[in-house]
């Protein structure tokens, strides 16, 4: 069974903005990145999956349930971390998370135990009796994550969990999300406009732009090998390029690398032989892989979408 599936999902807000347009996708359990520039429709997608927004047309399915018809059942099995600050500053973290547990229907003592456990998982156990208002931004994000975990969900929907964090805080949050996804066996959908940072912790990606689906697939399927061979030598790049040309291989320079078309296995041998004959120190020889960022580069420029350069 798919973790999440949508068929022609479209959401137009009353003002006329179409935030999601004809989205059809299916993703398997795991850690899934929902990536797109600001305004791409990520939050709308999350709220639709939770049953908080009703699709204008089309349908969604989460854990085999229709969130429009069975919103409560979906929310009983899904934890949600909203994007914006929504924490009561005067409340003690342990009380707040317990309260959120009670809201999901847990008995008082169970909710209290689960709250302590969730706060331990996010690294706030020692600080759990402090008022939330005195917490740092990173700690507040962790409380939001703890309340999403308190009822032991099967799926977490995290809306921009690294928002407002410095690079070290972002790293720590991503490591924590990865741990939750891998060690606890909970599937996670993590929204971000920063492709580079979530790409490394996710198994799959849903890439959207202007409400339209660019691609939903496993990351390894998006980064298959290209038919280009990248060669880097410590010195003698021009010399190598000329020698390759003599052997019928047209090399294009890209920074310190030479790129040659990879027609078959013989191309590797030809390059290796040429490098050896010229006695050049070879730094790198590998088949170029597609990068996830290429998904976005063919579409309308998205200045707010930061991509990794690997
Ligand atoms: N309640 C609403 N009423 C009208 N338009 C809305 C509403 N919420 C969102 N939108 C619009 O829908 C589009 C998608 O917004 P959404 O918040 O889903 O995008 P996002 O990818 O989550 O962006 P961000 O990262 O900035 O939150 C935007 O053009 C936004 O202005």
Backbone angles phi, psi at 25, to 5 degrees: -155, 165
> Which element (helix H / strand E) includes 158?
strand 155-159
ipTM for the predicted complex: 0.96
Q: Are residues 200 and 236 in the same domain?
A: no
Q: What is the pLDDT of residue 245?
A: 95
Residues 178 and 248 reside in one and the same domain: no
Question: Does ligand 1 come within 6 angstroms of the Cβ of 29?
Answer: no
Does 93 map to a domain? yes
This prediction has a pTM of: 0.82
Please report the pLDDT score of residue 20 as a whole number: 97
Q: What is the pLDDT of residue 297?
A: 59
Can you give the pLDDT at residue 292?
81
Instruction: Give pLDDT < 50 ranges for the chain.
Output: 299-310
pLDDT at 308: 43
The atom of ligand 1 lying closest to the CA of 40 is 21
Concatenating the DSSP letter of every residue in 252-299 gives EEETTEEEEE--SHHHHHHHHHHHHHHT--EEEEEEEE--TTHHHHTS
Among protein residues, the one whose CA lies closest to atom 2 of ligand 1: 13
pLDDT value of position 303:
38
Q: Are residues 166 and 77 in the same domain?
A: yes
Domain residues for the domain of 218 are 4-222
The count of structural domains within the chain is 2
């Amino acid at each position: 069974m798919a973790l999440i599936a949508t068929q022609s999902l479209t959401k137009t807000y009353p003002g006329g903005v179409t935030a999601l347009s004809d989205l059809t996708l299916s993703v398997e359990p795991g850690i899934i990145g929902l990536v797109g520039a600001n305004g791409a429709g990520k939050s709308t997608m999350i709220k639709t999956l939770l049953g908080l927004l009703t699709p204008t047309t089309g349908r969604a399915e989460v854990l085999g349930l229709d969130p429009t018809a069975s919103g409560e059942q979906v929310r009983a099995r899904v934890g949600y971390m909203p994007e914006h600050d929504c924490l009561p500053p005067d409340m003690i973290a342990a009380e707040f998370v317990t309260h959120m547990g009670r809201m999901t229907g847990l008995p008082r003592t169970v909710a209290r135990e689960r709250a302590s456990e969730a706060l331990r998982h996010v690294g706030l156990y020692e600080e759990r009796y402090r008022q939330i208002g005195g917490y740092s931004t990173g700690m507040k994000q962790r409380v939001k994550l703890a309340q999403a975990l308190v009822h032991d969900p099967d799926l977490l929907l995290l809306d921009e969990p690294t928002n407002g964090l410095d690079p070290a805080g972002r790293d720590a949050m991503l490591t924590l999300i990865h741990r939750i996804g891998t060690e606890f066996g909970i599937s996670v959908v993590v929204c971000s406009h920063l492709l580079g940072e979530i790409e490394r912790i996710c198994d799959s990606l849903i890439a959207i732009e202007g409400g339209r689906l660019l691609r939903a697939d496993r990351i390894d399927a998006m980064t298959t090998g290209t038919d280009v061979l990248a060669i880097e030598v410590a010195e003698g790049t021009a010399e190598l390029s000329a020698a390759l040309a003599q052997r019928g291989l047209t090399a294009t320079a890209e920074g310190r690398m030479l790129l040659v078309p990879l027609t078959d296995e013989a191309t590797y041998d030809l390059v290796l032989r040429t490098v050896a004959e010229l006695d050049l120190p070879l730094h790198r020889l590998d088949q170029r892989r597609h990068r996830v960022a290429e998904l976005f580069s063919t579409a309308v420029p998205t200045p707010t979408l930061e991509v990794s350069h690997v």
